Structure 1
Amino acid sequence: MSTQREQILEAARQCFERWGPERTRMDDIAKAVGIARPNLYRYFPSKMSVLVEVIGNEMRVINAARRSRLPIEGDTRTLISRSISLGIELALEDSELLSVMRADSLDLTAEALVTHTSLMEIQAEYWSPIFEHGRSRGEIRADLTDDTEIIRWIQIVQFMCVERREFFPDIAAITRHFDRFVVPAIVVPD
């Protein structure tokens, strides 16, 4: 049986999918879960905190899928490129993540990504071992010592690719873009 917190998150996902995060109210989430709104605040102090938890959970799912498909081995350039592309591909298949990337909610979602360190920590759990691998092989630029900076750059570009799909018609186009412009900003030139 799921906990009250899990029920709230599931209700929030449904509300976000239906109305988008921007238009969803805490009243909507409480009603969907079947509790009074004041009880909702016992678990989450704000709609933003619910949104951050929903995004974080989806990030964990995507990162777990990437970990299972892409072992940390071999050429770092290829590993970073494949990780970014696979992350975008999985995000585009994730209806829950796409529900928070709706045009009417992008500002709220971007704010969550930028201001909540818990989301950066989730990304660091995935990316830092890859960067450590690259550094041990001498393949990460020496001046890039702060993983947070690299992760933020990757997040910005991934956000753009998921949000503005018309810029890149398919995953192959995204991969070419990353291989040519993004990954070279991170790795030592060949």
Structure 2
Amino acid sequence: MTETESLTTHERIVRAATVCFRRWGVEKTSMSDIAAEANLRRPQLYRHVESKEALIVTTIVHAAEELSRRRLAELPIEGPATDLIVKSLVMGHDDLLADAFASHLIGDGARTFLRLLGGDSGLREAQQLWWVPVITYGQERGELRRDLDVDEITDWFLMSQIAMVEHAERYPTRDSVRRHLRTFIVPAVAAHAEPAPRK
């Protein structure tokens, strides 16, 4: 049995959609293209997905899951939490820039990207495969703010990464990406940024 034959129908569709979106772009890809790539008839495709927009969301979530798993495999949760966060955000930035499909969506405007994902909890859940243990680790070490919960910090990182990719020309090198993250993004959630308690 080949790898393709061992995939579920849903997995075949997600893989086919990702291939098509990257090959032709979102606008030029039709559901017929995706069905053909998945070796399905168009009516069969619609039994599993309701629309192209729904499939776009699914492919983005799938890519986020893959990134979280790669982070877990490649980045040990040890040492200073802020260093670990910067490394993982650089990895995410590189991934988004390398993925023509995601970059295209963000290039159309962050509002479009977030509108597609607004009603779907899957992206946050996919990201939190990585961020829950990392943020918890940082809070337990006293490096990250305890007045912010995991959802708030995860959302902050997501919004920041989308903004950085949307304006990628401002960060032409990895060093410039790291500098922006260390100077502006990570300090917002670092423990020293925690507001003083109200009297």
Both proteins in one fold, TM over 0.5: yes
Q: Which amino acid aligns with 1:100?
A: A
| Alignment of structure 1 residues 112-131 onto 2, 5 Å | 112-131=116-135
Contact (CA 8 Å) 2:96, 2:102: kept in 1 or not?
A: no
Gaps (5+ residues) in structure 1? none
Q: Which residue of 1 aligns with 2:172?
A: 169
Q: 1:105 to 1:54 in 2, by over 3 A?
A: farther
Residues 106-141 of structure 1 show CA distances to partners (whole Å, capped at 9, x for unaligned) of 654332333310111011111011111111111211
Q: 1:107 to 1:32 in 2, by over 3 A?
A: farther
Q: 1:147 to 1:18 in 2, by over 3 A?
A: same
Contact (CA 8 Å) 2:110, 2:162: kept in 1 or not?
A: no
Is 1:25 matched up with 2:30? yes
Q: Which residue of 2 aligns with 1:13?
A: 18
More deviation in 155-164 or 169-178?
155-164
Q: May I ask how many residue pairs the two structures share in their alignment? A: 186
Q: Which residue of 1 aligns with 2:102?
A: 100
Q: Which amino acid aligns with 2:56?
A: L
Q: Which amino acid aligns with 2:54?
A: S
Q: CA deviation at 1:34?
A: 4.0
C-alpha root-mean-square deviation of aligned residues, in Å?
2.2
* 2:161 aligned to which of 127, 144, 158: 158
Q: CA deviation at 1:69?
A: 2.3
Q: CA deviation at 1:22?
A: 3.8
Q: Which amino acid aligns with 2:175?
A: A
Q: Which residue of 2 aligns with 1:110?
A: 114
Q: CA deviation at 1:8?
A: 1.8
Q: 1:85 to 1:100 in 2, by over 3 A?
A: closer
Q: Distance in 1 between matches of 2:111 and 2:26?
A: 10
* 2:40 aligned to which of 35, 38, 43: 35
Percentage of matched positions with identical amino acids: 35
Q: Which residue of 2 aligns with 1:178?
A: 181
Contact (CA 8 Å) 2:96, 2:103: kept in 1 or not?
A: no
Residue 40 of structure 2 aligns to a residue whose secondary structure is coil
Higher relative contact order (CA 8 A, sep 6+): 1
Q: Distance in 2 between matches of 1:86 and 1:34?
A: 33
